[in-house]
A = this chain, B = another copy of it.
């Protein structure tokens, strides 16, 4: 494959103009880390400016509108994850939301003492579940999934039984991008009477998700990857409408109260998903999420997903053609039907390789221990030639030789 193929794909790209919605310096390194931190869009920048201006002008009176933002932005974000209105809130962080929902799920299945998860899931997911399990005297059963192809459904089925209270899994794996069948897994979990909690951090805005369609129970995710809301922007949570009234929120904050400004003696949880709010929501963060979500909605999730698949298929082809002969290998599922929006590349000196690409200002990607580089070509602003050039630059660096991969690596994200 030569560059002309990528150029032709760009000419046929109906989303090409969306790249202009982001301030991008074409002389800079190629950004292939949209799966870690999405780019700044003009829309988000304007939303933050407007938010600061609104704070300045309205001061405390702004709260009469701001107070609705977690649910309002949540409803819009819900369109990206197949969630009807009144089920999604934008609030807190992914970690906090995971904790709240997992704890609520365990309380809703008293007597069941097992949590099932994935040993290769993102660290915060595993740690939060382990912390809850220890606090409650539950067993955390982590399945040792394949680091490339992901969780095996038969193995999962073997781990779930009538003792299982909760199964918590990432829809798309943070490292390999292996993607689970959300509907089939949810159905399996429900057959055993357990609750299912999905982490959609690597899904929302990249791949289609149908929470309501799968009758999913609970979900969480972040807004700073494919939703481009900025570093540490708020997370979100989903609670199926029929389930909300049965759930008890562990962190009983005043924003989750049925009548917040009554300030009465007893905590009365709000009707519905609103009970999962806690403290004062971060208004500038919410406005950034709102603008980020609207841009994705404008592009259309179906269009983005189609382009994402074409991008990652091209990357997989190029990795095999150019990088495999140099000792690298695709560390993601080959078929887009089993994959999310990024691809991973394994190499024994992955850390030195990734560092050299960054130091020489060629490609921004990220290293994931012990031996992988992730390429996340966000469809909203990444061209096919970007993918092509990135692999070519990676090939050149590998050919020129790498320094030894230090055992004690500096702290990087």
Q: Which residues of A contact B (CB under 8 A)?
A: 23, 31, 33, 36-37, 39-40, 45, 48, 52, 55-56, 59-64, 66-67, 92-96, 99, 119, 122-124, 126-128, 130-131, 135, 222, 224, 230-235, 249-255, 257, 260-267, 278-286, 288, 358, 364, 366, 368-369, 409, 411-413
Contacts and interface: CB of A to CB of B under 8 A. Distances in A.
B37 A257 contact: no
Contact of A282 (B23, B95, B99, B234): B234
A191 to B, nearest CB: 29
Q: Looking at A37, A94, A235, A368, which has the most chain B CB atoms within 10 Å of its CB?
A: A37
Contact of A278 (B93, B288, B364, B409): B93
Given A124-B279, A128-B252, A36 B60 contact: yes
23 contacts: A31-B59, A37-B59, A39-B59, A48-B52, A60-B364, A63-B412, A64-B411, A66-B232, A67-B413, A92-B92, A92-B93, A93-B278, A94-B280, A95-B253, A95-B255, A96-B278, A99-B251, A123-B257, A123-B263, A124-B253, A127-B254, A130-B266, A261-B369
A233 B251 CA distance: 19
Given A95-B279, A232-B285, 8 more contacts: A33-B60, A59-B364, A93-B278, A95-B251, A123-B263, A127-B257, A131-B267, A282-B282
B279 A93 contact: yes
B123 A254 contact: yes
Q: Looking at A127, A263, A284, which has the most chain B CB atoms within 10 Å of its CB?
A: A127
A95 B63 contact: no
A289 B283 CA distance: 14
Number of copies: 2
A280 B222 contact: yes
B412 A64 contact: yes
A364 B61 CA distance: 8
Nearest to A93: B279
A129 B74 CA distance: 28
Nearest to A234: B282
Given A96-B251, A251-B131, A279-B93, A412 B261 contact: yes
Contacts of A266: 130
A200 to B, nearest CB: 15
A136 to B, nearest CB: 10
A284 to B, nearest CB: 6
A64 B366 CA distance: 12
A279 B59 contact: no
Given A96-B251, A250-B135, A279-B124, A45 B36 contact: no
A352 to B, nearest CB: 16
A126 B60 contact: no
Contacts of A368: 263
A253 B39 CA distance: 25
Given A31-B59, A257-B127, A279-B95, A66 B231 contact: yes
Contacts of A122: 254
Contacts of A56: 23, 39-40, 45
Q: Looking at A92, A251, A278, A286, which has the most chain B CB atoms within 10 Å of its CB?
A: A251
B251 A63 contact: no
A163 to B, nearest CB: 21
Given A130-B267, A263-B368, A63 B413 contact: yes
Contact of A94 (B48, B63, B232, B279): B279
Contacts of A283: 230-232
A124 to B, nearest CB: 4
Q: Looking at A36, A252, A265, which has the most chain B CB atoms within 10 Å of its CB?
A: A252
Nearest to A107: B135
A231 B412 contact: no
Contacts of A45: 52, 56
A83 to B, nearest CB: 21
Contact of A253 (B127, B222, B224, B279): B127
